[in-house]
Amino acid sequence: MELTLEQLEKHKKEILEQLIEDAGSVTHLARMLNINPMTPRGWVERNSISKAGAKLVADHPTLGEYYKAIDLRPDL
């Protein structure tokens, strides 16, 4: 199934919001991934996680069980 650009953007925003909710906050997510808190704040501002960020989440021992890179970035 192919998504329209609008559907893809909506999906990326929703999954990012769910990831942050599951992590507890943007700051806690940054701590979990051992990155600067400004990085996930930028994802929120853009409503999309970066490709590198999607890989970090997918490789995380806990988050990776629930979030795959393709789920975070279906355009990969």
Residues 6+ apart with CB under 8 A from 8: 74, 75
Q: Where are the domains of the chain?
A: 5-72
- Output the tens digit of pLDDT for each of the chain's 76 residues: 577 889 888 988 999 999 999 999 999 999 999 999 999 999 999 999 999 999 999 999 999 999 999 999 887 7
Q: Which amino acid is at 13?
A: K
User: Could you tell me the pTM of the whole model?
Assistant: 0.88
Q: What's the distance, Cα to Cα, between the start and end of the chain in Å?
A: 15
Alpha helices by DSSP H, listed for 1-76, are: 5-23, 26-33, 38-46, 51-59, 69-72
Task: Name the token pair of 4.
Answer: 């329209």
Place of tokens 């559907």: 7
DSSP state of 70: H
